[in-house]
Amino acid sequence: MEMTDSALPIAGWPAIVTRGLHKRFGTQVAVRSLDLDIPVGSFCGIVGPNGSGKTTALRMMTGLLRPDHGQVWISGHDTWEQPAIVKRLLGVVPDPLNLFERLSARELLSHLGEIRQMDREVVARRASELLDIMDLGESVDKQIGGYSHGMRKKTAIAAALLHRPAVLVLDEPFEGVDPVSVLAVRSVLDRYRAAGGTVVFSSHTMELVEKMCDYVAVMSKGELLAAGSTSDLKEGVTLEQAFITLVGVDPVDSAKLAWLDGSDVTAPGGTSGSRGTHSVSGDD
């Protein structure tokens, strides 16, 4: 496909394409030869156990981490060959957030608008609308350093949406965010996507991914196990059940923890006994 120098999505390309994406830290392979196509306009959830490579993959896709091998295209533009264009096409909420602690949420969005050379009136209007729907209240003019984790997440999401990117990449965006705020953020993302935007986010919460996503990529031990529509991956079961089957989780042997139900109680002095056989009088 022909490349251009315009900061616009190239027709015919998926929102994100990775080919042979590979990253090693010492002897540990974090992501192994990742080939993934994420469709334009999709709500894509990248799921996997802790240490599966989700965050590393997202950081390489967005240009925050250089891969050892492989390529990434955002809306048809090479992340490493055309970084300026890709940055204009992307909105990113990384983990960790790395926000400017001494700025307020309003100042942060204003600062980002200046960096992106956006019209000041447009920035002021969008910032006010975004921060209002994120329900930050009077905190919008207080330093971010004093925000709760959930408030920081909502500020970062507002900042990522400010320039109305073609692709929005969010690493664990709902972690530490209260249920009411999740609904507010979800409504914003649904409207963004309905207008052609693409949302890609990682999560450990299968129920949330199942409710929000129409496309899912499952990773484990740095490898892509499956990718496709949510309905195709589920095949008549819940997404959590499909995920467990794909990852191959061993059943938990809770019999080893019999002491939790009180069947193995050690009395004072190192002797075993059952509850109720050891009495303590008020005179002891």
Alpha helices in the chain (DSSP H): 54-61, 83-89, 105-115, 120-133, 149-161, 179-194, 206-212, 230-234, 239-247
Residue 201 lies in a domain: yes
Amino acid residing at 176: G
Nearest of 231, 222, 175, 225 to residue 201 by alpha carbon: 175
As given in the structure block, the two tokens for residue 196 are 């052609």
Q: Do you know the residue count of the chain?
A: 284
Q: Indicate the SS3 state at residue 216.
A: strand
Neighbouring-strand partners of residue 226: 218
As given in the structure block, the two tokens for residue 237 are 């079961």
As given in the structure block, the two tokens for residue 20 are 């042979």
Surface-to-core class of residue 8, CB atoms within 10 Å of its CB (0-12 exposed, 13-18 middle, 19+ buried)? middle
As given in the structure block, the two tokens for residue 129 are 């609308």
- Alpha-carbon distance of 275 to 273, in angstroms, equals 7
Residue 131 lies in a domain: yes
pLDDT value at residue 5: 46
Q: What is the mean pLDDT of the chain?
A: 88
Q: Indicate the SS3 state at residue 165.
A: coil
- Label residue 267 by pLDDT band (50, 70, 90): low
More confident residue, 247 or 227: 227
pLDDT value at residue 235: 82
pLDDT value at residue 4: 42
**CA dist list (Å): 5 to 78, 112, 175:** 11, 23, 37
Residue 70 lies in a domain: yes
Q: Indicate the SS3 state at residue 202.
A: strand
Per residue in 39-78, pLDDT (tens digit) is 999 999 999 988 899 999 999 999 999 999 999 999 999 9
pLDDT value at residue 176: 77
Neighbouring-strand partners of residue 17: 37, 73
Q: Indicate the SS3 state at residue 14.
A: coil
Residue 157 lies in a domain: yes
pLDDT value at residue 269: 62
Residue 275 lies in a domain: no
Based on C-alpha coordinates, what's the Rg of the chain?
Answer: 24
Q: What is the largest CA-CA distance in the chain?
A: 90
Nearest of 81, 82, 84, 137 to residue 106 by alpha carbon: 137
**Which residue carries 């990384």 as its tokens?**
94
Residue 111 lies in a domain: yes
Domain that holds residue 83: 16-253
pLDDT value at residue 229: 95
pLDDT value at residue 237: 87
Per residue in 68-121, pLDDT (tens digit) is 999 999 999 999 999 999 999 999 999 889 899 999 999 999 999 999 999 999
Nearest of 249, 244, 209, 245 to residue 230 by alpha carbon: 209
Nearest of 96, 97, 95, 78 to residue 87 by alpha carbon: 78
DSSP symbol at 255: G
Half-sphere exposure of 267 (CA within 13 A, CB side): 10
Per residue in 191-236, pLDDT (tens digit) is 999 999 999 999 888 888 998 999 999 999 999 999 999 999 988 7
- Alpha-carbon distance of 22 to 153, in angstroms, equals 28
Residue 5 lies in a domain: no
Cβ atoms of residues 198 and 15 within 8 Å: yes
Give the total number of structural domains in the chain.
Answer: 1
- Alpha-carbon distance of 96 to 149, in angstroms, equals 11
pLDDT value at residue 39: 97
Write down the pTM of the prediction. Answer: 0.84
Residue 33 lies in a domain: yes
CATH classification of the domain holding 196: 3.40.50.300
